[in-house]
Structure 1
């Protein structure tokens, strides 16, 4: 019989004994433990050296400051913040701008633009999408200044209309107020709705759309009965993201907001820098932080549904 069928032949062909296999398994287990320990040390390093001084410590100090008083721990900053009659007006103004710009105009415009790009493509659509991706990297106050240069009372468009129609004064004078703030936020945050909506459209089964059209459904019925029920997680994710970013907007409000248009971020900034009331400013910041985290958790939950739909 050939030596290939003998134990020595098996050893020569690379078949290991039980002891050698156990030794290899033990070595692999030790290597896996070493990699796990190294990963844990790296995570601890990031947590202590990076997240600790830059994120965790400032947030902890802010929360501690919001409950600090002359005699120790107190809830006076929160009672002062919510007990101020102007706070209710600030919350109303903030929510009004949020729903007007983020929920209504920006979301509708973003969904409409995404629908046009996906269902009615035209030459240059890829270039436009790249521009929208680049646009979201711009600072928000840059959009505010651009609108001032174009549509302000001394802007190029306003002066051009004044000269064209021989008017005594520039016809446009709405930027420094709620109209300008809503316009700037719509222009800046509508692209944030486009990308999640396009991602949701990409998961659609176009055979369903074609079947609905073949049965005589018009474009509006196809959109409401087929596309919207299937694509709503992406649309909702984009709307929530737009709402979250608009809630924390500061640059546009600082440039275009008037003295009568004060929102929560501006009020917190004024409490800290003008009134030097750091505990009250910290209390307002904690409230805004909780609102932002709640919206972000909702965004993550809806976005997971979109990802599950992709699979």
Structure 2
């Protein structure tokens, strides 16, 4: 009798939970799943809006047959990996300082880190154009110091796009790391110090492993946002850094080849999800190991 009552109570809780989250599920389905299914369906046609073939995989075959599409995809992957690594390397010391420091200027530093989130991506990209242009602040400073005899071409290359992306996405990495680092008890590091561990050993054996889940969470955010970035590569790359987002835009809005653009979008989505799944599994294993 008690078992039946418990099952009935659990079913009621499940039903009430489903009822409470049903509006959110409907909203997600209407705004995300349905457009995604439509995108997949569009990628298997040969024309838009009046396709002659209902189902074809020629668009996907063309993606892997044309070097231009593959190059754009590889460039996006390289950009995402480089930006993720740089934000992790630069963001970890900043996050550690924000968590452990007692300086009165800590709030100002945090404000400076998250300030890029308060400004439009377009405005920030224009700011980099002003700084790095041939008549920009950096070139004028180098000329005035006599370090160069003529302005340098600092814009429209891969590294310029990396700099712009790092500036935009650094707050996501730092905020994720600060959350993870703030949950590490000081007593663990103090105990390691009592056991004779030096500063490097404490960091490698205590702090870094325990903060790894936050590091991976930040890496996932930065990787996903970089793969989907369009404005910064377009403005700072100047058409010379062809990433997958600019390729998709060109296929849809310039060539009006919507099925090809949809196929490129689906391939990009699958590739990004694959990387995220791998990162999530690594994070789960780390969390499981920490729990044990």
Could you say which TM-score interval applies, normalised by the shorter chain? 0.7 to 0.9
CA, structure 1 residues 307+129, in 2 after alignment: closer, same or farther (shift >3 Å)? farther
Q: 1:40 and 1:213 mapped to 2: Cα distance? A: 52
How far off its partner does 1:54 sit?
Answer: 3.7
Q: Which runs of 4+ in 1 moved over 4 A?
A: 50-53, 294-301, 303-310
How far off its partner does 1:231 sit?
Answer: 1.3
What's 1:242 paired with?
222
- Residues 1:59 and 2:33 aligned together: no
Q: 1:298 and 1:78 mapped to 2: Cα distance? A: 24
CA, structure 1 residues 218+42, in 2 after alignment: closer, same or farther (shift >3 Å)? closer
Cα deviation digits, residues 108-146 of structure 1 (max 9, x gap): 111121122223442211232234334334333332221
What's 2:123 paired with?
142
Contact 2:116 2:124 in 1 (8 A): no
Question: Which secondary structure does the structure 2 equivalent of 1:175 belong to?
Answer: coil
Contact 2:212 2:286 in 1 (8 A): no
How far off its partner does 1:36 sit?
Answer: 4.8
Query: How is 1:190-201 mapped onto 2 (pairs within 5 angstroms)?
Result: 190-201=170-181
What's 1:99 paired with?
81
Question: Which secondary structure does the structure 2 equivalent of 1:72 belong to?
Answer: coil
Question: Which secondary structure does the structure 1 equivalent of 2:222 belong to?
Answer: helix
Question: Which secondary structure does the structure 2 equivalent of 1:262 belong to?
Answer: coil
Cα deviation digits, residues 69-111 of structure 1 (max 9, x gap): 3222111111112221222222221222122222x21111111
Cα deviation digits, residues 247-301 of structure 1 (max 9, x gap): 1111100101143321111111111112221111100111122234445556666
Highest RCO, 1 vs 2 (Cα 8 Å, sep ≥ 6) = 2
Contact 2:63 2:70 in 1 (8 A): no
Query: How is 1:218-229 mapped onto 2 (pairs within 5 angstroms)?
Result: 218-229=198-209
CA, structure 1 residues 121+247, in 2 after alignment: closer, same or farther (shift >3 Å)? farther
Match of 2:92 among 103, 111, 126: 111
Measured on the aligned residues, the alpha-carbon RMSD in Å equals: 3.1
Contact 1:203 1:309 in 2 (8 A): no
Residue ranges of structure 2 left out of the alignment (5+ in a row): 1-8, 47-51
Q: 1:307 and 1:129 mapped to 2: Cα distance? A: 31
Match of 1:89 among 71, 82, 97: 71
- Residues 1:266 and 2:238 aligned together: no
Q: 2:158 and 2:100 mapped to 1: Cα distance? A: 34
What's 1:162 paired with?
143
Q: 1:167 and 1:66 mapped to 2: Cα distance? A: 51
Match of 1:213 among 170, 173, 193: 193
Residue ranges of structure 1 left out of the alignment (5+ in a row): 1-28
Question: Which secondary structure does the structure 2 equivalent of 1:221 belong to?
Answer: helix
- Residues 1:43 and 2:25 aligned together: no
Q: TM-score, with normalisation over the residues of structure 2?
A: 0.81
Stretch deviating more after TM superposition (130-139 or 195-204): 130-139
Q: TM-score, with normalisation over the residues of structure 1?
A: 0.76
Q: 2:28 and 2:189 mapped to 1: Cα distance? A: 48
Q: Count residues with an aligned counterpart.
A: 274
How far off its partner does 1:305 sit?
Answer: 7.1
Query: How is 1:119-138 mapped onto 2 (pairs within 5 angstroms)?
Result: 119-138=100-119
Q: 2:123 and 2:274 mapped to 1: Cα distance? A: 28
